[in-house]
């Protein structure tokens, strides 16, 4: 068993990005600028956004955080999105999910201009990705692909089972893994909460991607010997042994699954750090007009 070490890889990738940003600065180019909109004060969202802003600072990019109370109207939020769309200094825009129930996340995502949609959530970017055209790819799946590539994990002809069908991870992951590229060329099975005989299907996976948001759902009896296991989950569960009173767990029961695998991601220290790197990479592309010129 070998760890797919997101901490190590993200440090390496961030150094590469920092070098690229420094070169842009030296030649007088435009410094990439990421804007994040945060609605409310949900603890996990605060952590995610502050991490993204901190990483921008570390690699020399510009960042702006726009905050709203969770009572903000949908119209006011959409107006702010349009304001960022129309600001040529602002290259990438993310609106941190989840949003309050009175705001349509779909409407917000569709209002972000595709050229600034560095999260890869706009229908145009999802459609272009599905067709294999240049697009901003959703940051978590893109981070997973980068991880598979840098660890030189063979994917062609393998059976990839994705557990979870969200538009943010599961669906784009299933599309990307079947494309005629590397990583890719897999036979893909997309499973979800209504899938019958789920364990029978996951046991056939050469590459298993767990992205369903249920702590320690994937157990040893659901994984075949030698599988590559990618754990996208990150949930807080009560743990009286911790000073904070809780622990972070993934969708995979790590201690019992890990011995059966050839490669596995830890939680934390795995996929989440790669997601942030992907976001930075997409923001540089946005600043340079690489996808939409």
Q: Which of 96, 116, 117, 206 is catalytic?
A: 96
CA neighbor of 163 nearest in space, from 197, 134, 133 = 197
* Catalytic residue status for 52: yes
Q: How far is CA 176 from CA 9, 129, 187, 222, in A?
A: 21, 8, 11, 23
Q: Which of 5, 52, 62, 116 is catalytic?
A: 52
Rounded Cα distance, 276 and 56, in Å? 9
Q: Which of 119, 206, 231, 251 is catalytic?
A: 119
Rounded Cα distance, 280 and 139, in Å? 9
* Catalytic residue status for 221: no
* Catalytic residue status for 119: yes
Rounded Cα distance, 168 and 117, in Å? 13
The secondary structure of the chain, three-state, reads CEECCHHHHHHHHHHHHHHHHHHHHHCCCCCCEEEEEEECCCHHHHHHHHHHHHHHHHHCCEEEEEEECCCCCHHHHHHHHHHHHCCCCCCEEEECCCCCCCCCHHHHHHHCCHHHCCCCCCHHHHHHHHHCCCCCCCHHHHHHHHHHHHCCCCCCCCEEEEECCCCCCHHHHHHHHHCCCCCCCCEEEEECCCCCCHHHHHCCCCEEEECCCCCCCECHHHCCCCCEEEECCCEEEECCCCCCCEEEECCECHHHHHHHCCEECCCCCCHHHHHHHHHHHHHHHHHHCCCCC
User: Which residues have a catalytic role annotated?
Assistant: 52, 96, 119
């Amino acid at each position: 068993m070998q760890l797919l070490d997101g901490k190590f890889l993200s440090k390496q990738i961030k150094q590469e990005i920092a070098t690229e940003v420094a070169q842009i600065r030296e030649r007088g180019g435009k410094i990439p600028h990421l804007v994040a909109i945060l609605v409310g004060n949900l603890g996990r969202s605060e952590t995610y956004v502050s991490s993204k802003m901190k990483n921008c600072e570390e690699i020399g990019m510009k960042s702006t955080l726009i905050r709203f109370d969770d009572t903000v109207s949908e119209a006011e939020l959409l107006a702010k999105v349009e304001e960022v769309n129309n600001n040529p200094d602002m290259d990438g825009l993310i609106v941190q999910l989840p949003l309050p129930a009175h705001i349509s996340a779909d409407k917000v995502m569709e209002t972000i201009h595709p050229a600034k949609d560095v999260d890869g959530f706009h229908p145009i970017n999802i459609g272009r990705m599905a067709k294999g055209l240049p697009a901003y790819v959703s940051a978590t799946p893109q981070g997973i692909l980068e991880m598979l590539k840098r660890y030189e994990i063979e994917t062609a002809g393998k059976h990839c089972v994705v557990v979870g069908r969200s538009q943010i991870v599961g669906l784009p992951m299933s599309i990307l893994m079947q494309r005629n590229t590397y990583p890719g060329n897999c036979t893909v099975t997309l499973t979800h909460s209504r899938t019958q005989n789920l364990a029978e299907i996951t046991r056939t996976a050469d590459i298993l991607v767990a992205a369903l948001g249920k702590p320690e759902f994937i157990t040893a009896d659901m994984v075949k010997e030698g599988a590559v296991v990618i754990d996208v989950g990150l949930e807080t569960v009560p743990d009286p042994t911790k000073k904070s009173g809780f622990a972070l767990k993934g969708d995979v029961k790590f201690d019992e699954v890990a011995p059966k695998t050839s490669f596995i991601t830890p939680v934390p220290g795995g996929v989440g750090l790669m997601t942030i790197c992907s976001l930075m990479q997409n923001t540089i592309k946005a600043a340079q007009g690489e996808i939409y010129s």
